[in-house]
Amino acid sequence: MQKIYTPEGAFSYDEIATGKFSVLDEYLGYTLNFCKDWLSGTTHFTFTTSGSTGAPKAIVADRAHMLISARGTIKAVELTPTEHVYLCISSKMIGGAMMLVRAMELGCDVTIVSPSSNPIEILDENHPFTFVSFVPMQVFEVQTDESIQQKLNRFKHILLGGAPANENTLQALSKLTCEVWQTYGMTETLSHIALRRVGKDKYYEVLEGVHIKKDERNCLCISSPITDDQWLLTNDVINFVDDTHFELVGRIDDVINSGGIKIFSYDVEHAIIEKMNDLEMPPKPMFVCRKPDEKYGESVVVVMMGEKLSDEVLEQLKEHCRITLGKYAAPRHFYFVNEFEKLESGKLDKKNTLQKVINCG
């Protein structure tokens, strides 16, 4: 009989459906009650958007639409009832909730742990799990830690979503023997609507029943049964390949306008990583964003985790950005922090991280 395992005990699907479970931890209680509602046929569920691109807002999801999303992933990834799901992202957000829905639709085992920045660390080297979803920050150490690489290879399928992953992380993940799927989606689409196999596919491919186009801003527009076949406009700039494939360029609101020149933060991050690799420096978690500037309107700033780099190295990074992207793309400031602020979804909270470091500086 299929079970849901928690740090406070294991419960069968029947026990959860009938409310015959008891846990002290608030998060576990919330998660098991979501499972109870699903197994007992609840028709509507309320989720909150992550808040990474604006104020969080409530989204009411229809059970029938959630089923369409779950079955689309099950078919695309070729999941079976023999999977053992490892849930280490928040069930309070749509990504975690849909991992549970997929598991319950398949009728497979689930193990739930509280979300953390490194949920791989607590795994046994011979863990039994086959299917998992991570945000990029949770797998950042795959670049340098062989034990994490070995643990990840125990999975059959890994979903990677919630935020963009840097090139070094993707390159390290591409060397794994398991399938790693980079996802594209949002709360409004009830998790992902497109997948890309890391190291194998150049473009995202939409799930069955999803239609795409681009608007006059070159931003992705999505239509599917989940949106009631209405066009959902996004702020994600794409290269449109064909009716089922696209390449993600970056968010239009991640464009930094410095001195009248538009700069994608992704391009600056890529240039910095490229130069750090040339210098044979270990990878550092980082993000690139904008900061108001009296002279240029906005300036490019970089926030890195860890010890401050030497002035010589910082100047080399700036110079590489100038050469490859133009003088306005060279970061005006580098900030260094011990840790990043995070949203409840596990995503990086760029705004509050930058604000905190500026206030402390």
Nearest-CA neighbor of 260 among 216, 295, 228, 302?
295
- C-alpha to C-alpha distances, 310 to 153, 271, 317, nearest whole angstrom: 36, 18, 11
Query: What's the half-sphere exposure (Cβ side, CA atoms, 13 Å) at 34?
Result: 24
- Please, which residues bridge with residue 342 across strands? 348
Q: What is the pLDDT of residues 183-213, one digit of tens each?
A: 999 999 999 999 999 999 999 999 999 999 9
Do 343 and 213 belong together in one domain? no
Of 252, 273, 307, the residue at which a domain comes to its end is 252
Q: Tell me if 35 sits within 8 A of 104, measured CB to CB.
A: yes
Do 151 and 278 belong together in one domain? no
Higher-pLDDT residue of 68, 292: 68
Could you tell me the CATH number of the domain that includes residue 310?
3.30.300.30
In a domain, 21, yes or no: no
Do 127 and 239 belong together in one domain? yes
Q: For the residues 57-78, what does the mean pLDDT come to? A: 95
Of 252, 284, 301, the residue at which a domain comes to its end is 252
Do 91 and 226 belong together in one domain? yes
Q: How confident is the model at residue 294 (pLDDT cuts 50, 70, 90)?
A: confident
The pLDDT value given to residue 163: 77
Q: For the residues 208-220, what does the mean pLDDT come to? A: 96
> At residue 247, what are phi and psi to the nearest 5 degrees?
-115, 130
Is the pLDDT confidence value at 38 over 70? yes
Do 241 and 286 belong together in one domain? no
Place of tokens 């807002």: 57
Do 229 and 307 belong together in one domain? no
Q: How confident is the model at residue 165 (pLDDT cuts 50, 70, 90)?
A: confident
Name the percent of the chain lying above pLDDT 90: 79
Place of tokens 């010589």: 312
The count of domains in the chain is: 2
- Domain range for 298 is 259-360
Q: How confident is the model at residue 55 (pLDDT cuts 50, 70, 90)?
A: low
Q: Tell me if 49 sits within 8 A of 57, measured CB to CB.
A: yes
Cα–chain-centroid distance for residue 93?
A: 12
| 246 DSSP assignment | E
Of 252, 279, 309, the residue at which a domain comes to its end is 252
Do 263 and 247 belong together in one domain? no
In a domain, 248, yes or no: yes
> At residue 244, what are phi and psi to the nearest 5 degrees?
-125, 0
| First CA to last CA distance, the chain | 56
Do 64 and 212 belong together in one domain? yes
In a domain, 179, yes or no: yes
Do 114 and 186 belong together in one domain? yes
Do 271 and 331 belong together in one domain? yes
**Residue 361 to residue 356: CA distance in whole angstroms:** 9
